[in-house]
Amino acid sequence: MSHKPRLTPMNEKVTLLSITTSQYLSEQISEAYGHELGQFRVARFSDGEMQPIIEESVRGEYVFIIGSTFQPSDNLMEMLLTIDAARRASAGYVCAVIPYFGYARQDRKDRPRVPISAKLIANLLEAAGVDRIMTLDFHADQIQGFFDIPVDHLQSQAIFIPYFKEQDMSNVIFASPDMGGVKRARAYAKYFERDMVICDKYRKRANEISGMTLIGDVTGADVILVDDLVDTAGTLCRAADLIMEKGALSVRAIATHPMLSGNAYENINNSQLTELIVSDTIPLRQKSDKIKVLGSADLFATAIRNTHDNASISALFVN
């Protein structure tokens, strides 16, 4: 897919817009940024068809459209239509700020006759006219290559590491709940100069684990599982059980995106996890004493400011 370069915005004004279901996070980002959200609403026809309406001029401006594309799929459609509305309103530069990028788990053909959905979503966003994508913790790093436009792939270490730096980490071992998360767990282990173990799982079908083994020794350790998202929480809870069986003192978990569908809350509350720490990219459906939410607004506000000022985004990464 070809993408024509856009003109540089004619003025320095910034407009922040929010997708409906991400209003809670957008308001925090706008407060951290020091700029009120733009005037925006979504009209609906009687059959549910939506029509995003930008109720102020954005001609020649930097427009940042904030919204996670979690289920239902209306969130993705609202994002696409709002990008189109901004482009047709002669916005100078349009950036889609997508804290949670939906369909990222479908990043390859892992069996015959299935779509590569993450690539399709990338094509749709570019076709809508977006100039830049900003997101947090893709499920797979290679999704950046699905785009022919700049992608700011922010890292959740900037959110979670300050939280752990205030705690005693001398007895901690980091763990990956599967082979795909080894890179994430290793980043934390390297930063805190701690050891790492791996839970190797096998699935017959989505959201159903057939078996799991532990690679490494956790005897007498306080273990922190590291993952990018938690859906039904089956993997995390199974990993926590296995780690405790192998002699760990306690198990906590980090998961950037709290999808928490199905029986997730029940699974977590009944598990051996003492704490699940998540970000606010997706709103919680219910409260749990075991779930702690850390804010991402400051990170996104700084990234938006750096984008507008043509400053470095990589400076926000924790090395």
- Reply yes or no on whether 201 is catalytic: yes
CA–CA separation, 171 vs 12, rounded Å?
A: 50
Listed residue (97, 95, 144) closest to 119, CA to CA: 144
Element (H, E) at 25: helix 23-33
Block residue for tokens 């916005």:
91
* CB within 8 Å of 41: residues ≥ 6 apart: 52, 53, 55
Yes or no: say if 258 and 282 are a contact pair by the CB < 8 Å rule: yes
Q: How far is CA 164 from CA 158, 161, 169, 189, in A?
A: 11, 5, 7, 12
Active-site residue, selected from the candidate residues 13, 183, 201, 287? 201
Pairing of strands 172-176, 196-205: parallel
At residue 133, φ and ψ (nearest 5 deg) are: -120, 135
* CB within 8 Å of 107: residues ≥ 6 apart: 116, 118, 119, 139, 140, 142, 143, 146
Element (H, E) at 124: helix 117-128
Yes or no: say if 16 and 30 are a contact pair by the CB < 8 Å rule: yes
At residue 47, φ and ψ (nearest 5 deg) are: -90, 5
Q: Which residues are catalytic?
A: 201
